[in-house]
Structures are given as C-alpha cells and as structure tokens.
Amino acid sequence: MKICPSCYAVCTDQKWEFDEKTRQKAMKGNGWEKHLCPGCERVARGQVDGVVYLRGDFLNKHRKEAKNLIRSVAQKKLHKNIAARIYHIEEKKDEIIIETTDRTLAERLGKEFEKAFSGHLDIQWQHHSDFARVYWTRD
C-alpha cells in the first residue's frame, strides 16, 4: 500500500483515492510506503495541461461566487481523477487565471462557469498534445 505524504491519498490495488479510514489503518502497521500520488507528482514537476482565463467586469461584482465555484469544481473533479489539480491561481482586477494539471479540469471549469453565470466560452486544444486553453468572458 502507498500513501502520498503530500495529500494523504491512499493507493490500493493500483488505484489512488482519498480514504481516511484505510490510511489510518495502514499507518498503524508496517505494510505501507510513502509515494507521491499522480496529482502531487504533476504538481512537483510543474506539469500544466490546462489554463483557464476567466475575464470580465462580472468577476469584480461576483468574485466570491467565482472562487467558490472554482473550489467546488476542483474538489468534485479531484475525487473522480486524483491527477486533476489546480496548480496555480493568479488573480487580477478583471481576470482570474487558473493553471491545472489536467486538461479535463480546465474544460470542466469553463463549462461550469458558462452553466452557472452564462457568458461566452471558448475552448482551444493544442494539436498533438493534451493541453487546453479555456476562455470564459462576461462583462
């Protein structure tokens, strides 16, 4: 059994997940080893597979709601795909830039912003790679 020392995810039968009971039980014995999970490995390597640009005056008036949505989407995606993480968030006056370790997380963030707040969504994929740029705007 492997336990990630960074996020405390547990790997059993080659599947990583967040399971506090399993982690606590394993740590009482000797049959486990420290190993970074795929998400923490991507963060450690600085692997960015998606960038989300949230832009517009709407963000000034609804920044708290926007940040809550970012957090909620990231948490849901993390429990489905342990490698999908937010790598970095940069906040500016009329813009939030989010770097993700997984292109599908970037896509999901854009789609959820469009669903929750309307606006305009544009998703661009780089040819021959797993990289996505997501642009959401609303004035």
C-alpha angle 106-138-104 in degrees, rounded to nearest 5: 10
User: What pLDDT, on the 0 to 100 scale, is given for residue 115?
Assistant: 98
Distance, CA of 40 to CA of 124 (rounded, Å): 26
Distance, CA of 10 to CA of 130 (rounded, Å): 26
Give per-residue pLDDT as tens, 67-126: 999 999 999 999 899 999 999 999 998 899 999 999 999 999 999 999 999 999 999 998
Rounded percentage of the chain residues whose pLDDT exceeds 70: 100
Distance, CA of 110 to CA of 137 (rounded, Å): 10
Confidence of residue 26 (pLDDT cuts 50, 70, 90): confident
Contact 88, 96 (CB under 8 A): no
What's 45-137's CATH class?
A: alpha beta
Long-range CB contacts for residues 18-24, cutoff 8 Å, separation at least 24: 18/78, 18/79, 18/82
3 state DSSP class of 89:
strand
User: What pLDDT, on the 0 to 100 scale, is given for residue 101?
Assistant: 97
Residue-range domain boundaries for the chain: 2-35, 45-137
